[in-house]
Amino acid sequence: MKQLMAGCLVGLGLLAGSTTYAQTPTHTPPSNMTCPGDKIVWVNQKSHIYHYEGERYFGSTQQGKFICEKAAVKEGDRATRNGQ
């Protein structure tokens, strides 16, 4: 019985498609954070790549911070190239 249930669960995972691996943001920008004329981005501090709101890794990498995009560029960070 356990093998049957495990097989069903694996099958359901395979049929669910690509949405099963999408990450859910674990961090949200501080409510008082503003970037007049700019966008708030999430910078992965390990890779120095930043992500925009709505992208897969926005607010969800282990080592990161919210910052204004212009400040991120000044720090030497760059935008993601694949839209994730």
Domain ranges of the chain: 23-84
Does 66 score more than 90 pLDDT? yes
Question: Average pLDDT in the 50-76 region?
Answer: 94
Q: pTM of the entire structure? A: 0.69
The pLDDT assigned to 23 comes to 60
Over residues 13-61, the pLDDT tens digits come to 444 444 444 566 688 898 999 999 999 999 999 999 999 999 999 999 8
**One-letter identity of residue 30:** P
